[in-house]
């Protein structure tokens, strides 16, 4: 007799599991919301012939959305006792399928066949307007925009990035749907988030005047950096010899571009004659000297002779333009606008 009873309980238990998995709702508070499935979480023997079964449920909602939704189950069968009847569902978006985090529990006498129709589900909640208005999130940080979207009963859609000269990096440039659009709850709002200003290309200013180069640099969204000068035999004075960064470099806006500006050709040294070079130089004393006593009118120098601002060592003090040489060491001497070669003495 006991063996037959145990076999009957086992068969009834297997039948209960199958029937619970296939059970469908009979009554609903909202025709669009229904319990479509149950997932067994645990089972435990509670008596000689009774077992407790704990389940999660799957709910399919239509429209409208339901806030603070709750599914409640009752049983009309004496052999099926509901221990935990309510399952909290929170916000049920329109046209959404959700699986509950909460559970319900029934106690079944497995000596009695389970009747699926004995479980009656009722889903209740606060209806949400069929459509909601999309919030304006342009200019907000991505995190703040996401919070505003979800608080409106919507979802964050695709997030892409783009450069912007006006919107700070990390903030929203644009959204879709646009702010104020009327959409169904749960609609995805796509965002375009700024990466900051785009890089700019450094203009070529080599060869331009300093003023023109400065204008080209500032027009490109850059700034003029340090300006130094250098001589050049090929670039006209006042024009740019070189720049740094080089032309074509990709840099962030506001980068300083340093310039090197030409001062024109460099000065060159004029060959000198007389003094130590007079004896063996290209222009010796025979070609460069002025004759004693010849006076200003007759004093000339060779076209290749150098000029010195100060008298050579060994020359006497400057005197009149017609002065000559007196005893002493040789060398070039300047007397007013003339230079004198004194091979054996100093000017008188």
Q: Write the CATH number for 14.
A: 2.60.40
Question: Does one domain contain both 183 and 213?
Answer: no
Listed residues 69, 92, 127: the one ending a domain: 127
Question: Does one domain contain both 123 and 14?
Answer: yes
Question: Does one domain contain both 23 and 87?
Answer: yes
Listed residues 127, 142, 170: the one ending a domain: 127
Listed residues 112, 127, 142: the one ending a domain: 127
Question: Does one domain contain both 220 and 328?
Answer: no
Question: Does one domain contain both 7 and 27?
Answer: yes
Any domain includes 144: yes
3-state secondary structure of 269: coil
Question: Does one domain contain both 8 and 119?
Answer: yes
Any domain includes 267: no
Supply the range of the domain harboring residue 167.
132-194
How confident is the model at residue 51, as a pLDDT? 94
Question: Does one domain contain both 80 and 11?
Answer: yes
62 closest CA partner among 110, 123, 147, 136: 123
Question: Does one domain contain both 157 and 171?
Answer: yes
Burial track 20-29 (b if 16+ CB lie within 10 A, e otherwise) = beebebeebe
Q: CA-CA distance, 24 to 35, in Å (whole number)?
A: 7
Question: Does one domain contain both 177 and 214?
Answer: no
Any domain includes 270: no
Q: Would you say how long the chain is, in residues?
A: 348
Any domain includes 27: yes
Largest CA distance in the chain: 163
Ordered alpha helix ranges (H), 23-139: none
Question: Does one domain contain both 258 and 145?
Answer: no
DSSP helix, strand, coil percent of the chain (3-state; round to 5): 15, 40, 45
Any domain includes 21: yes
How confident is the model at residue 278, as a pLDDT? 39
Question: Does one domain contain both 123 and 136?
Answer: no
Q: What is the CATH number of the domain that holds 154?
A: 3.30.10.20
Q: What are phi and psi of 146, to 5 degrees?
A: -60, -40
The number of distinct structural domains making up the chain is 4
CA atoms within 13 A on the CB side of 150: 7
Per-residue pLDDT of the chain (348 residues; tens, 9 = 90+): 334 334 443 434 443 443 343 333 333 355 578 898 889 999 999 999 999 999 999 999 987 888 899 999 999 999 999 999 999 999 888 888 999 999 999 999 999 988 878 889 999 998 877 788 999 999 999 999 999 999 999 999 999 999 998 999 999 999 999 999 999 888 999 999 999 998 999 999 999 999 999 999 999 999 999 999 999 999 999 999 999 999 999 998 999 999 999 999 988 765 554 444 434 433 344 334 444 444 443 344 444 344 444 444 544 444 444 444 444 444 555 544 455 555 544 444
How confident is the model at residue 312, as a pLDDT? 47
State the Rg of the chain over Cα.
52
Any domain includes 82: yes
Question: Does one domain contain both 141 and 118?
Answer: no
Q: CA-CA distance, 104 to 42, in Å (whole number)?
A: 11
């Amino acid at each position: 007799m006991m063996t037959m009873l145990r076999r009957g309980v086992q068969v009834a238990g297997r039948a209960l599991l199958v029937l619970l998995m296939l059970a469908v709702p009979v009554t609903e508070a909202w025709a669009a919301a229904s319990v479509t499935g149950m997932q067994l979480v645990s089972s435990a023997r509670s008596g000689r012939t009774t077992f407790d079964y704990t389940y999660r449920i799957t709910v399919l909602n239509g429209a409208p959305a339901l806030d603070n939704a709750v599914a409640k189950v009752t049983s009309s069968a004496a052999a099926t006792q509901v221990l935990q009847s309510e399952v909290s569902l929170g916000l049920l978006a329109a046209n959404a399928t959700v699986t509950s985090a909460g559970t319900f529990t029934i106690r079944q006498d497995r000596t009695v066949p389970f009747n699926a129709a004995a479980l009656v589900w009722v889903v209740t909640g606060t209806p949400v307007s069929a459509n909601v208005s999309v919030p304006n999130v342009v200019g907000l940080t991505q995190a703040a925009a996401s919070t505003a979207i979800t608080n409106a009963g919507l979802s964050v859609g695709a997030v892409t990035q783009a450069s912007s000269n006006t919107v700070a990096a990390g903030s929203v440039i644009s959204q879709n749907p646009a702010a104020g659009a009327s959409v169904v709850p749960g609609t995805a709002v796509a965002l375009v988030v700024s990466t900051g200003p785009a890089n700019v290309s450094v203009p070529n200013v080599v060869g331009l005047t300093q003023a023109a180069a400065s204008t080209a640099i500032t027009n490109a969204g850059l700034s003029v950096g340090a300006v130094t000068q250098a001589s050049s035999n090929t670039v006209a004075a006042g024009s740019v010899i070189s720049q740094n960064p080089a032309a074509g470099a990709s840099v962030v806006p506001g980068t300083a571009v340093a310039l090197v500006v030409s001062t024109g050709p460099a000065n060159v040294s004029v060959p000198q004659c007389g003094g130590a070079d007079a004896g063996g130089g290209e222009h010796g004393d025979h070609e460069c000297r002025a004759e004693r006593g010849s006076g200003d009118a007759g004093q000339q120098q060779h076209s290749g002779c150098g000029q010195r601002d100060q008298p050579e060592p060994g020359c006497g003090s400057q005197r009149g333009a017609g002065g000559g040489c007196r005893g002493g060491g040789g060398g070039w001497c300047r007397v007013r606008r003339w230079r004198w070669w004194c091979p054996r003495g100093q000017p008188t």
